[in-house]
Amino acid sequence: MSLVVRPRRLRRTPALRRLVADVRVSPADLVLPVFVKEGLTAPVAIPSMPGVVQHSRDSVLRAASEAAAAGIGGLVVFGIPSVKDARGSGADDPEGVVQLAVADLVREVGEDLVVMTDLCLDEYTDHGHCGLLTPDGEVDNDSTLARYASVAVAQVRAGSQVVAPSGMMDGQVAAIRAALDGEGFTGVPILAYSAKYASAFYGPFRDAAECAPQFGDRSAYQQDAARPTSEGVREALLDIAEGADAVMVKPALAYLDVVRAVAEAVDVPVAAYQVSGEYAMVEAAAAHGWLDRRRTVLETITGIRRAGAGMVFTYWATEAAGWLTEG
Ligand code: PBG
């Protein structure tokens, strides 16, 4: 055969493949989500996320040191209070678990990586929704904004280096920016979970963070998977107009078109969150011997980077960073 065009030529050897590889994942691109639960004295396993735990205040410091040693770019901290109420009081309590843990983490690893906080109410409310409820049980956008503003200030006072609002209330970025600026925290960035979809892939997280909605679901505030890609772009552009310094698409796997479209439309950093269900799916299949765990993990992260995300939030961050540096 006299084929002239042979794409396989560049795939023949490992050295050639390495030379032409375009999408590179480095540990600095990865962000590890961590859960810290009030009152724990030892870590507690999360059955639906094998390998992931609810941390005690001590054990999260060990995980953070390992993550820093592996060279990852950041941590995002989720707090689980022992007492929940309708307004999520634990979220902005200066003595609340997330504030205490963040202060410890910043002291421990705050110069080696970026310590971020997830900014939402669902881990702190007894009803499990991301905002305050009206008397007839709807999540009230505008009264929730004042709560987010207060939570942002509490988190940053505790030392949070980036706040990451994930509640999908309209106007949340503007409200948080104004509150932070009002306290003089003009230099603290907001990484907005901008395009966040109402997703079945959050299932295991709700065990991890003990935040399953006690009634209904989040479809009245999180986005609908069946809307066109451009709606995700619109949400990202709105957040940037409100002052977001970086934007996120979440989940990653089922929304890679949104990652791509947002990356092309914006000129701020773009993150994607490989969520709990994406993690659980691979772990479950790997545990059965149905998937090669390491290859699958690295392939999914590479795919998310190729779609256009500069940062990938993933529960595999520390382990994947180890694999990436051992080559
Ligand atoms: C809301 C929040 C959620 C996740 C991150 N932030 C849950 C939700 O919206 O129901 C999900 C993360 C995951 O599934 O890994 N505070």
pLDDT in tens, 212-243: 999 999 999 999 999 999 999 999 999 999 99
Our answer on whether the CB atom of 104 is closer than 6 Å to any ligand 1 atom is no
CB 225 within 8 A of CB 257: no
Q: Which residue's C-alpha comes closest to atom 7 of ligand 1?
A: 202
pLDDT for 14 equals: 97
For residue 205, how far is its CA from the centre of ligand 1 (angstroms)? 6
Phi, then psi, of 180 in degrees rounded to 5: -65, -45
Catalytic residue, from 57, 127, 250, 305: name it.
250
Residue 37 annotated among the catalytic residues of the structure: no
CB 94 within 8 A of CB 157: yes
pLDDT for 207 equals: 87
* Other CB atoms within 10 Å distance of the CB of residue 55: 24
Sign of CA dihedral 9, 14, 19, 23: positive
Q: Which residue's C-alpha comes closest to atom 10 of ligand 1?
A: 202
Hey, which residues does 119 pair with through a beta bridge? 165
Residue 218 Rama label (left phi>0; alpha psi -120 to 50; beta): alpha
Hey, which residues does 274 pair with through a beta bridge? 314
Our answer on whether the CB atom of 272 is closer than 6 Å to any ligand 1 atom is no
Residue whose C-alpha is closest to residue 36's, from 83, 101, 87 = 101
For residue 280, how far is its CA from the centre of ligand 1 (angstroms)? 14
Residue 196 annotated among the catalytic residues of the structure: yes
The 10s digit of each residue's pLDDT in 187-219 is: 999 999 999 999 999 999 988 999 999 999 999
Sign of CA dihedral 213, 218, 219, 223: negative
Pocket residue to mutate for ligand 1, from 168, 172, 202, most atoms within 8 A of Cβ: 202
- Whether 177 shows a pLDDT value over 70: the answer reads yes
What is the SS3 assignment for 85?
strand
CA 323 to chain centre: 21
User: pLDDT exceeding 90 applies to what percent of the chain?
Assistant: 98
Our answer on whether the CB atom of 120 is closer than 6 Å to any ligand 1 atom is yes
Across all residues in the chain, what is the average pLDDT?
A: 97
Residue whose C-alpha is closest to residue 252's, from 210, 186, 196 = 196
Looking at the chain, list the stretches that DSSP marks H as alpha helix, in order from N- to C-terminal side: 14-20, 57-69, 97-109, 141-158, 172-182, 203-208, 229-242, 256-265, 276-287, 293-307, 317-326
What is the SS3 assignment for 246?
strand
Query: What pLDDT band is residue 326 in, cutting at 50, 70 and 90?
Result: confident
For residue 55, how far is its CA from the centre of ligand 1 (angstroms)? 17
Our answer on whether the CB atom of 125 is closer than 6 Å to any ligand 1 atom is no
Query: What pLDDT band is residue 165 in, cutting at 50, 70 and 90?
Result: very high
CB 194 within 8 A of CB 233: no
pLDDT for 327 equals: 61
The 10s digit of each residue's pLDDT in 245-285 is: 999 999 999 999 999 999 999 999 999 999 999 999 999 99
Our answer on whether the CB atom of 115 is closer than 6 Å to any ligand 1 atom is no
Pocket residue to mutate for ligand 1, from 53, 120, 214, 304, most atoms within 8 A of Cβ: 120
This prediction's pTM: 0.97
Averaged over 86-112, what is the pLDDT? 97
Query: What pLDDT band is residue 1 in, cutting at 50, 70 and 90?
Result: confident
